Amino acid sequence: MIDNVSALYDKTSSCRHCQATFSTKRIRSGTLTMVHRDSDFYTTFKEQSLNPILYTVNVCPECGFAFTDQFRDKLAPWQKQIVDEQISSKWKPKDFGKVRHVPEAIVSYKLAIYAAEITDQPHSVKAGLYLRLAWLYRLEKNVAEEMRFIDMAVEEYEQSYIHSDYTRGDKEMTEVRLLYLIGELYRRLEKFDLAIKYFGKALAFRNHTIESGIIRMAQDQWQLAREEYKEKKNEQKIG
């Protein structure tokens, strides 16, 4: 059993908009025990209240600019101007640097998504934010909101695939992993034809990748999507 004190630490972050320095919590790597990994990579830990996704977003308490470590390092003058107009001028100082629960984490993601959209961050960065927000709603058992944000995530992941910017948002992301993930998100949205198409693209890497785990997952989920698709078609016939 680990306590919050040893797993959490304060990290000093510097605002990419106003340069203010502030403190934000992080989870010490290696302190959590993984319990389960969902087919879209959402990870459940024994210490769920310390799930690292709660602390991905840095929110500047001074100006309200919210960002992750994957955002572009610098904002261009036009981006600074739009952040000033759309965020900072309306911001009331608020500190996100304390222990976060799911509701505060959800707010932090919505702030980061807004900031990412208006400053035109890479598709992979936006996709990662949408997917993690969907996971937070999964934690809350709010299926409608989970699906709404999975839908937005998959759209950005597809753009990320088209523009090949997927290595920007997530160091672990590879082409085969991205194709698998797009397929899996479409399967969850019950868009089975698209799911099958993307699993097929992932499976085409079968003999050209060392990621045999992903290939195995693509195989299993491709099979599952085909069965679900058949079932859905039968239901429609009967209905």
Q: Kindly state the smallest distance separating residue 14's Cβ from Zn ion, in Å.
A: 9
One of 18, 147, 189, 203 touching Zn ion (CB under 5 A): 18
Rounded to whole angstroms, the Cα distance separating 23 from 99 reads: 12
Burial 127-163 (b: 16+ CB within 10 A, else e): bbbbbbbbbbbbbeeeeeebbebbbbbbbbbbbbbee
Whole-number minimum distance, CB 60 to Zn ion, in Å? 3
Q: Is 63 or 176 the residue whose CB approaches Zn ion more closely?
A: 63
Site track 43-62 with Zn ion (rule: CB under 5 A), x = hit = -----------------x-x
Contact window for Zn ion (CB under 5 A) among 15-23, 30-38, 74-82, 114-122: 15-23
E-assigned strand segments in 15-61: 21-27, 34-37, 43-45, 58-59
To Zn ion, the closest distance from the beta carbon of 18 in angstroms equals 3
Among 7, 8, 54, 63, binds Zn ion (CB under 5 A): 63
Beta strands in 71-222 (DSSP E): none
Closer of 61 and 155 to Zn ion (Cβ): 61
Candidates 13, 17, 123, 179; binder of Zn ion (CB under 5 A) is: 17
Cβ proximity to Zn ion, 65 vs 161, nearer residue = 65
Using the contact rule CB under 5 A, the part of the chain among 11-19, 43-51, 179-187, 224-232 near Zn ion is 11-19
Distance CA 236, CA 108 (A): 41
The least distance separating Zn ion from the CB of residue 85, rounded to whole angstroms, comes to 14
| The pair of three-digit structure tokens given for residue 74, joined into one six-digit string | 């610098």
CA distance 119 to 112: 10
> 88 vs 174, which CB is nearer to Zn ion?
88
Q: Which is nearer to Zn ion, 76 or 143 (CB)?
A: 76
Helix (H) or strand (E) holding 8, with range, is strand 8-14
Instruction: Judge whether 64 and 108 are in contact, CB under 8 Å.
Output: no
Q: Specify the residue, 15 or 185, whose C-beta has the smaller distance to Zn ion.
A: 15
When the beta carbons of 80 and 226 are compared against Zn ion, the nearer one is: 80
Q: Residue 115 interacts with Zn ion (CB under 5 A)?
A: no
Calculated CA dihedral for residues 48, 187, 142, 133, nearest 10 degrees: 60
66-96: burial string, b at 16+ Cβ within 10 Å, e else: bbbebbbeebeeebbebbeeebbeebeeeeb
**Span from 6-14, 17-25, 41-49, 184-192 in contact with Zn ion (CB under 5 A):** 17-25
Interface contacts to Zn ion, rule CB under 5 A: 15, 17-18, 20, 60, 62-63, 65
